[in-house]
Structure 1
């Protein structure tokens, strides 16, 4: 048995400026007010960032509108050159960006390095390939860009959500004003530098940092033609109300409460790896996290024993340590929500278990946790916790599994574990979820569409389908 030895990634590969302005019309400009962004693992201030005001949003939308005339008129093959260039620069600077993302977000470096950054580059490469083939995308023989897109992204995958939004918008000939999350603005501001390095024409991409009010100004701005939002269902509802009747296009990718269904013929060890990946990847800060485990009663005891053994090996700690499996919770506010719902789970009678693990003294931390004895009436089985907390329910028949899986206001994702292909296909067909994984979980690909049903939103991102909302 090897002893654990830390393997820290160097912080020196990335230079964080003491302050950042707003990226409008190809240049950084100061804002009137600023806010601080911190490292959630240490609570150290990383930088001061400009707080976008209504007049800043006005300037950004005006810059995007001016740039739209020339950008949309470029042949698709010319737009593709810029997207290919951005993708290559992201690959060249991937180590720098991975460290930055771990510092600002709290997620482990091995996730930013091996998952986030390769996917970010892949999305730009993929949509660069579509830029001169839009007439073959299936949305009419002569599709046109919509105009100026206002995009608001969350803190859980800051750079990846940026890529999901910006790459298809630019490929289709639109220009963009993007508002990153208040707690994770740095990688978007670094992306602004990538745009300049790629010689992207000024105004094609504008980045306005700020909090909820800044996002609301952007969404409600009369100069915006298309709104794309990823975040909570509650904010998604507010956006849908504000956009209703304006003629703006809208896509929403919202919360989830995914069922991960394990049948009695599933390969147990493989399923356990999928369960761990489904709920503890990115500290459970994943809208499609497999936060409800539905396990067939006959194998429940065996599977839970195996799961607990595996959880005991998870390393919680420094996100920049290459051995870390579970990093820091993104903010004090999110930690408070996870803690509150977990305490409610115990109060309502579910049995709580966490492996022994020492948590750092500073920063925002929560041990990987499972609840057994959970019923569908428990709040932890109904509400999105958005943290490393798993609710375990059991079922006896496939019909019961399907009924329990669909008994949720959400419909973003699901997982099925079984050795029978016919069973996987039959169950997947009955699940009301936008993405269903078979014998795996949390696997993403730029060629595959992603999105939800019901309170998980509407519209699709990724794949050919991801172009539709950006084409008229």
Structure 2
């Protein structure tokens, strides 16, 4: 089967390659295992230098890769350029994380009778399964720390972002990384399944949906020696209190829900308003501001909301919208596809205030990926926290307004891994951990903490010579 990508800008094919077959996958992983054993013995300083060379290469070619991201996955230019900036910044952040969190060290002064030492051992071959929504930044956030820790990497980009994946591979090799240390495979889900089954795999790293994460978890049953790090989706709430001006609500909530066409795992899916004198004005302002957002393709300089990844994603989002209507939600801004492109979906808003508790629970259990927001009114702040937490997911959440005490109550009760105050749900800092709780992850936060799942700690007690003390004396 051939994988093809067609440009959102020109409509021309930009990638066409056969999927990697089973035999080729085996050969690639065998080479990676051998190369990884050599790479693990390369000095940390040399590994750091190679990673920095990659960052310098991306920086020198940022316009090229930014345009390719826009062309292949439909990101608007400002959004694609922001991803490239984050990818470049990931280099130094990962180096700093290794130095502070994963550096070999002696825990007792060398003049003591017994030294306590911790060192870190690579996990082997890391299989990185990348997403389409941040095809450079998110896999890079796993590849860079894996390489710094001394692992080989086999990368499978999303089948919807293979041109960017190929560019990344070339960038690493032109930056001096040995070819067998960083290899790639191309294909859809069956390609990943084949690779995961290979005995050479020391770790699997996924950014994707809950369903895919669960499938990989089941596939690795009985293989506890394989590290599994899952960065999964969310059903992210943003609570709006009475004190926030309507125009501020409109800006922060619309950005949370509709930036990147809603194709960020941290995008808000539910906006929960504490009902009061201002809630009508706040919701009206949100609807009006959202209706004014300009939708367009990457070549449209005025666009604020770009397309979904493809027409299939648009149809899937329409199915979600229809399901929400069936549950009793009322449209405040109906679903609409722009006639210019079947993947260009305008933002839509539904009101779930009057639906049943079972219906609200069903909404909280849903996962969707696109510019669709559900709003709900509740009677007070405690009810808002209860509504926000009514989901099996736990990735991101935000509170607008309120006091520091209210935010602390919110952070303790909402059950999310990224919890913001007076900012969008999509706000995340590179110097912090990034990951979700419950159905949004498996206790392996990425971001600054990604270095933690790239190696195993080995502890030692060291003496200059055999001890003359009798260890059996403790039983007498």
- Shorter chain as denominator, the TM-score bin is 0.7 to 0.9
Distance 1:180 1:395, change over 3 A: same
Deviation at 1:214, TM superposition (A): 0.5
- Choose between structure 1 and 2: higher strand proportion: 2
* Distance in 2 separating the partners of 1:320 and 1:144: 47
TM-score by structure 1 length? 0.88
* Distance in 1 separating the partners of 2:430 and 2:443: 15
Deviation at 1:388, TM superposition (A): 0.3
Instruction: Say which of 436, 439, 443 aligns to 1:459.
Output: 443
Please tell me whether the aligned partners of residues 38 and 183 of structure 1 are also in contact (alpha carbons under 8 angstroms): no
Deviation at 1:230, TM superposition (A): 1.2
Match of 1:124 in 2: 91
Deviation at 1:130, TM superposition (A): 4.3
Q: Where do residues 378-457 of structure 1 align in structure 2 (5 Å cutoff)?
A: 378=360, 379-441=362-424, 442-457=426-441
Match of 2:165 in 1: 188
CA deviations on 1:46-96 (whole Å, 9 max, x unpaired) are 321231111121122122112112211112111110111111111111111
* Distance in 2 separating the partners of 1:59 and 1:359: 45
Q: Does 1:282 align with 2:260?
A: yes
Larger radius of gyration: 2
Q: Does 1:55 align with 2:23?
A: yes
Instruction: Give the unaligned 5+ runs of structure 2.
Output: 108-116, 457-476
TM-score by structure 2 length? 0.87
Deviation at 1:347, TM superposition (A): 3.2
* Distance in 2 separating the partners of 1:60 and 1:132: 31
Instruction: Say which of 60, 63, 66 aligns to 1:92.
Output: 60
Please tell me whether the aligned partners of residues 40 and 331 of structure 1 are also in contact (alpha carbons under 8 angstroms): no
Match of 1:11 in 2: none
SS at match of 1:67: helix
* Distance in 2 separating the partners of 1:171 and 1:278: 33
Instruction: Say which of 285, 299, 309 aligns to 1:320.
Output: 299
Deviation at 1:341, TM superposition (A): 1.2
Match of 1:269 in 2: 247
Please tell me whether the aligned partners of residues 246 and 286 of structure 2 are also in contact (alpha carbons under 8 angstroms): no
SS at match of 1:142: strand
Equivalent pairs, count: 439
Please tell me whether the aligned partners of residues 372 and 392 of structure 1 are also in contact (alpha carbons under 8 angstroms): yes
* Distance in 2 separating the partners of 1:184 and 1:368: 24
Deviation at 1:171, TM superposition (A): 1.3
Instruction: Give the unaligned 5+ runs of structure 1.
Output: 1-32
Distance 1:358 1:228, change over 3 A: closer
Q: Where do residues 136-175 of structure 1 align in structure 2 (5 Å cutoff)?
A: 141-175=118-152
SS at match of 1:307: helix
Moved over 6 A (4+): 136-140, 355-358
Match of 2:464 in 1: none
